[in-house]
Amino acid sequence: MKERNLLLESIVVGITTLSIGSALMLVPIEGIWFAYFGTFLIGFIAHYGFERFGLNEWFCKEVM
């Protein structure tokens, strides 16, 4: 059961990262630096959003 929950959480984070990353790809910026900064930004926004809106705590209480 715990392995299934970890898989579900990983899928949710992966979909979130894909969504934010796809939106960032629409920003017209030249240069390789943005790829690295964008990767950091995706992780930052996803983590901040999950914590800010209480989704991480809810997931741990309800699903885990």
Tokens at 37, concatenated: 């900064």
Binned at pLDDT 50, 70 and 90, residue 59 comes out as confident
Question: How far apart (Å, rounded) are the C-alpha atoms in residues 9 and 27?
Answer: 28
Residue ranges per structural domain of the chain? 2-62
Q: What is the pTM (predicted TM-score) of this model?
A: 0.62
pLDDT by residue (tens digit) across 10-55? Answer: 888 888 888 888 887 787 877 777 777 877 888 888 888 888 898 8
Question: How far apart (Å, rounded) are the C-alpha atoms in residues 21 and 39?
Answer: 8
pLDDT for the residue numbered 7: 82
